[in-house]
Structure 1
Amino acid sequence: MTRQLLVFVDGVRAGVLGCDVRSSTFRYDRPYLARRTPTPLSLSLPVGPREYGPEAVEPFLWGLLPDNAETLRRWALDARPQADEHNPFTLLQHYGLDCAGAVQFVRPENEATFERHGGLSRLSDTQIGAQIRAMNADPSRWTFDDRDGRFSLGGAQAKFGLLREDDAWALPTGATPTTHIVKPGIPEFRGSAVNEHVCLTLAARLGLVAARSRIDRFDGETAVVVERYDRLRLAEARPPERSARGLRRIHQEDFCQALSVMPSQKYEDDGGPGLGRMAALLRRQLPRDEAQRAIERLLLGVAFNWLIAAPDAHAKNYSVLLSGRQIALAPLYDIATLTPYDRYRPERMRLAQKVAGTYRPAEIGGLGWRTEAAARDLDPDRFGDRITELVAAAPDHIRALCSDPALRAMDPEFVDDLRAALLDRVAAAAAALR
């Protein structure tokens, strides 16, 4: 027997997800195909009349779910007996009303009413702090146990979604979107929330497009709060977006989803997409001039991760925004440096993707960046100059960021360590460019 979920993109029914004992399938609805510029569910699932099989569908579905086996096990137990931790369909029928991008998964019997069933549950700092403490004790606890909010966020790090409205925090329920992602940090990496905020803000100050973040303290617990770039506030809700609370979902997917690669293969060393495959996708999907700009932005993002010695910039940490036939590279997100931690060894550290044939930042200098730029059909000298500008500008921004009184109030000793470690790494990068 085949079970079904209705798939909505940007509030419009796009197709039907089917699941039997063996696999998942997806087919676009005819009315959706007849729209002037329908947004694809994924670049790996182009808009058309065919039925897509599990080889294309399941990498996309798994990419919407936590990359954390214990979290999936907990979710399946919470939704038993209908959910199976090894079946993304069964998980998304419970946790698929608010995902990355504009996709929503709706049970057929709820189609007529699901948009009316959204709401908010206001949260105090004490309640949010309690959730952060619970997550620090058990990183599989991504949801509030006593609340009925149901969202799904990808990635391995513990996090949860909230909505910011009228200068207060709330947990959305039903179809209401979240607007922010709260990440308490990784317990074994001291100050990791501060680390991520500093790195994202540094990227933005250096002229890169990065997700906006802030550091907050909830009942004494520190977290980085990242504004969702896949949510847009509207002056008023209006069709066809069918937005909730004046919010519109913007569709997006990561490069693993776009290339039909399972999340378990997100690192290039594990068979995942490297810069060559990612750049080739952009060239296939975009006009030449737009592709050139997007590939330069992508390569600059990788260069920033090299500059700060961030090891986790795999293909799931780069995404594209989708709207009709339009495609754009998403802002940078999920960036943190390894430099302030004991396990950082400059000569042994590896990046998530190869640059000019090597994973090791210590082996990448000016020639390496020009070689990589040329391989991606970019002007090597122009790109090399851009890298030099990034490196030269970084120290002043690092000092300014780490002198911010509000940031220092979180953990002044760690902020000092972070500043010193980043400045040392930038000095090494500058030397490598000479």
Structure 2
Amino acid sequence: MWNSGESSVPETLFVHYQQYPVGALTLAASGMMQFQYHAGWQQHLHGFPISISLPLDGNYDIHASHHFFVNLLPEANVRQQICQSLKISPGNDFELLKAIGGDCAGALAITESDSPVQPDQRYEAVNERQLADWSIGAPNAFSAVTGQDEVRLSLAGAQDKLPVHIQDGQISVPLGNTPSTYLLKFASPIYSHLPENETFVGTLASAIGLPAVDIQLRRTNRAAIAVISRYDRILEGESYRRLHQEDFCQALGISPGRKYEKEGGPGLRQCAEIIRSHTSFPLLELQKLMHWTLFNLLVGNADAHGKNLSLLYVDRRRLQLAPFYDLVCTRNYKNISRHLAMSLGGVSDPDQIGAKQLHAMADDLGVRATVVLKATASLSELLHQTMPDVVTRFADTWGTSPILERIPIIVRKQIRRLKTLLRG
């Protein structure tokens, strides 16, 4: 126990890393969440700052702590549906975290008890009918599952997705403190063939040698589901260990409501500064950031914002960029703005990005312009050469889809456009 002889007040939650107490999260009168490190965590060999924005000495304000923890929660319609299911007001961050904070992105577990978190290995199997219903949002999978006893799962973002465990093809929902090991992403009522889109683009990234998440497609008799292996879970013996991570909004102490650069969210230069100052091998990680930025530009992904890029704490104090995730050709959808979430040289319209903007990108990254220009040419050529094979393998493995025609057209057009602007 952390405070022997004292009981915790109802407005306090406790943050744990594995079996270690990390700190306490208290609800302030303002409605914001104030985090304070436990003294034992600050002094312990295992102790480390859980965010770049939350230094271990406690020198941070309530806004930084609130923004770090609220960034762990779902957003938009998914949040609304979960809150409705749990009978929680949509704006009540603290109560929502209390309800679903047992298995978050990264390694932290948030509980009402200050007792050490005991390892769990309990699952509830999902049948094919449930999976088929969830695949079309009838009902929303995450809100349906989080309404059950002993299910305490949280994932940030606005897309309908569900943390699960998969063994020998059987999908199960983790119970209690059991870690999830995969994410299921479901079809969208607004954006057609979204699981196929993300699977194709993620597979394309891996095929040209980029460090992207492992993503597969699973089809039900109603719709497709993207199945993504969690990079923040590793198998040790017969159990899984959580790895800590944070996205760039958390690292910079920015609210999820301001994840886009034009709203005050992270820009490329800020991300590069974080990488340069805090990762173990900054030159390697800056190269990854450059490739991530260029790949998103070339494949028409305008939604590459600060929550779609994360830092992985490999061994508590050694940081590196997490594998790339949420890679989608948003240009496939007419109702999504084509303007980039992070501008290049102050320009967010990808159709207007040429040599001047790539020189500015190099300046933001702190590298020579020739490095960015050569990387642009190299990635363009790799995409051009590799894409036909990825289309064939996708169709052979998971069947045909309209995106197999549309996305390659978009990518080839963007490559040609960029080459023309660079020549001009």
Question: What TM-score, normalized to structure 1?
Answer: 0.88
Decide whether aligned partners of structure 1 residues 17 and 144 sit closer, same or farther in structure 2, where only a CA change above 3 A counts.
closer
Which residue matches 1:298?
289
Residues 224-373 of structure 1 mapped to structure 2, 5 A cutoff: 224-236=226-238, 246-286=239-279, 290-322=281-313, 323-343=315-335, 349-373=338-362
1:62 counterpart = 2:65:
no
Q: Report the Cα distance in structure 1 between the residues aligned to 2:294 and 2:308, rounded to whole angstroms.
A: 14
Q: Which residue of 2 aligns with 1:197?
A: 199
1:402 aligns with 2:411: no
Q: Which amino acid aligns with 1:303?
A: L
Secondary structure in structure 2 of the residue aligned to 1:115: coil
Classify the secondary structure of the residue corresponding to 2:118. helix
Change (3 A) 1:143 1:427: farther
Deviations 1:139-180 (A, max 9, x none): 884636557422110011111111012332111111011111
User: What's the CA shift string for 1:5-50, capped at 9, x where partnerless?
Assistant: 11012442211111243332111112212222523221111112x3
1:426/1:117 Cα in 2 relative to 1: closer, same or farther (>3 Å)?
A: same
The 8 Å contact of residues 131 and 144 in structure 1, kept in 2 or not, is answered as no
Whole-angstrom distance in 1 between the partners of 2:172 and 2:406: 34
Count of equivalent residues: 413
* Bigger shift: residues 181-190 or 410-419: 410-419
Show the counterpart of 1:243. none
Deviation at 1:397, TM superposition (A): 1.6
| 2:130 corresponds to 1:127 | yes
Letter in structure 2 aligned against 1:90: E
Q: Is the 8 A contact 1:10 1:251 kept in 2?
A: no
Q: 1:3 aligns with which of 7, 11, 15?
A: 11
Task: Tell me, in whole angstroms, the C-alpha distance in 1 between the residues paired with 2:379 and 2:404.
Answer: 22
The CA deviation at 1:103 is 0.8
Unaligned runs of 5+ in 1: 237-245
Partner Cα separation in structure 1 for residue 27 and residue 331 of structure 2: 45
Percent identity reads: 26
Match of 1:241? none
CA contact (8 A) 1:15 1:26 kept: yes
* Alpha-carbon shift at residue 184 of structure 1 (Å): 1.1
The question of 1:107 aligning with 2:112 is answered yes
Matched-pair contact (CA < 8 Å) for 2:152–2:176? yes
Contact 1:141–1:158 (CA<8 Å) still a contact in 2?
Answer: no
Letter in 1 for 2:43: A
Q: Is residue 2:53 matched to residue 1:39?
A: no
Q: 2:167 aligns with which of 145, 165, 168?
A: 165
Q: Are 1:301 and 1:332, in contact at CA under 8 Å, matched by a contact in 2?
A: yes
- Compute the displacement of 1:221 (Å): 2.1
Secondary structure, counterpart of 1:76 in structure 2: helix
CA gap of 1:428–1:37, structure 2 versus 1, over 3 A, is: same
**Cα distance in 2 for residues equivalent to 1:2 and 1:426:** 56
1:102 is displaced (CA, Å) by: 0.4
- Structure 1 position 116, deviation (Å): 5.2
User: Which of 186, 189, 210 in structure 1 is aligned with 2:188?
Assistant: 186
Consecutive aligned runs of 4 or more in structure 1 exceeding 6 Å deviation: none
Q: Report the 3-state secondary structure (helix = DSSP H, G, I; strand = E; otherwise coil) of the residue aligned with 1:404.
A: helix
How is 1:370-409 mapped onto 2 (pairs within 5 angstroms)?
370-404=359-393, 406=395
Shift of 1:193: 1.0
Alpha-carbon distance between aligned partners in 2 of 1:357 and 1:51, rounded to the nearest angstrom: 33
The Cα of 1:62 is off from its aligned counterpart by 1.2
Q: Distance in 2 between matches of 1:148 and 1:140?
A: 14
Equivalent position amino acid for 2:322 in 1: A
CA distance in 2, matches of 1:407, 1:46: 49
Shifted more, 97-106 versus 15-24: the winner is 15-24
C-alpha separation between the residues in 2 aligned to 1:314 and 1:139? 25
Question: In the alignment, residue 12 of structure 2 is paired with which amino acid?
Answer: Q
Q: Tell me, what secondary structure is at the counterpart of 2:402?
A: helix
Q: CA shift at 1:384, angstroms?
A: 1.5
Relative to structure 1, is the Cα distance of residues 430 and 126 closer, same or farther in structure 2, using a 3 angstrom cutoff?
A: farther
Give unpaired runs (5+ residues) of structure 2: 1-8
Q: Give TM-score, length-normalised by structure 2.
A: 0.90
Q: Secondary structure at the match of 1:33?
A: helix
1:24 equivalent to 2:33? Answer yes
C-alpha distance in structure 1 between counterparts of 2:188 and 2:83, whole Å: 23
Equivalent residues of 1:128, 1:218 under 8 A apart: yes
How far apart are 1:357 and its partner, in Å?
A: 1.9
What is residue 239 of structure 1 aligned with on the other side? none
- The secondary structure found in structure 2 opposite 1:403 is helix
Aligned to 1:240: none
Shift of 1:271: 1.2
- SS of residue paired to 1:178: coil
Match of 1:91 in 2: 96
Among 386, 401, 405, the residue aligned to 1:416 = 405
Q: 1:117 deviation in Å? A: 5.4
Distance change >3 Å, CA 51–CA 74, structure 1 → 2: farther
Distance 1:123 1:292, change over 3 A: same
Could you tell me which residue of structure 1 aligns to residue 4 of structure 2? none
Which whole-Å CA distance do the structure 2 matches of 1:13 and 1:397 have between them?
48
Letter in structure 2 aligned against 1:99: C
Q: Aligned AA for 2:99?
A: H
Further displaced range: 291-300 or 315-324: 291-300
Cα distance change of structure 1 residues 294 and 428 upon mapping to structure 2, 3 Å threshold: same
